[in-house]
């Protein structure tokens, strides 16, 4: 993940799981990813966000329903002022509602620029062929050694 990131952060943080989901899984997968990405980028991994409430599973919700469910679900928990450039790491991006809420909280706390790095992109419904055949497509699969397009 770090090898394909073109964002230069001052720090890396992650989208935190709720306490109940973390207890069920035994770990926070976004945190685990962030803690590997940060040293590869030469910056610290810092927990800057806290989930304020457990949100219901988002899998079968529409984009607007996800945005409503995520509103107010996070708060800034960093010590002191936040870094200017933060890379937010998550495991899966579906509609972007969770990432947008987290980025909004970081920006409201004083972060100037938030980059997003995810391990996977969820795709629902049929996928048009143009998503993978267009040379300027932003929806891509990058393997180690490949450079993002």
**Structural domain contains residue 71:** yes
**Structural domain contains residue 39:** yes
**CB-based contact 54:20 (threshold 8 Å):** yes
Nearest to 65 by CA among 77, 55, 75: 55
**Structural domain contains residue 146:** no
**Structural domain contains residue 138:** no
**Structural domain contains residue 118:** yes
Number of domains in the chain: 1
| Distance from C-alpha of 11 to C-alpha of 38, rounded to nearest angstrom | 7
- The residue that leads in pLDDT, 78 or 42, is 42
- pLDDT at position 30 is 93
pLDDT at 109 over 90: yes
Nearest to 114 by CA among 99, 93, 96: 99
**Structural domain contains residue 77:** yes
pLDDT at 146 over 60: no
CATH number for 15: 3.40.50
Q: Quick count: other Cβ atoms within 10 Å of Cβ 46?
A: 19
pTM for the whole structure:
0.78
**Structural domain contains residue 7:** yes
Range of the domain at 80: 2-133
**Structural domain contains residue 27:** yes
Q: Which single residue is written with the structure tokens 């890379």?
A: 87
- pLDDT at position 22 is 78
- pLDDT at position 78 is 75
């Amino acid at each position: 993940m770090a090898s394909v990131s073109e964002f230069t952060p001052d720090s890396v943080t992650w989208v935190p799981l709720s306490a109940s989901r973390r207890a069920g899984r035994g770990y926070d997968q976004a945190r685990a990813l962030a803690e590997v990405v940060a040293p590869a980028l030469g910056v610290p991994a810092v927990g800057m966000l806290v989930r304020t409430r457990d949100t219901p599973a988002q899998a079968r919700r529409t984009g607007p329903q996800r945005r409503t469910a995520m509103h107010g679900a996070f708060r800034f928990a960093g010590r002191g002022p936040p870094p200017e450039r933060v890379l937010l790491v998550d495991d899966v991006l579906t509609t972007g509602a969770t990432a947008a809420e987290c980025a909004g909280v970081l920006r409201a706390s004083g972060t100037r620029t938030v980059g997003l790095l995810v391990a996977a992109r969820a795709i629902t419904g049929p996928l048009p062929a143009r998503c993978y055949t267009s040379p300027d497509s932003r929806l891509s699969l990058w393997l180690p050694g490949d450079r993002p397009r």
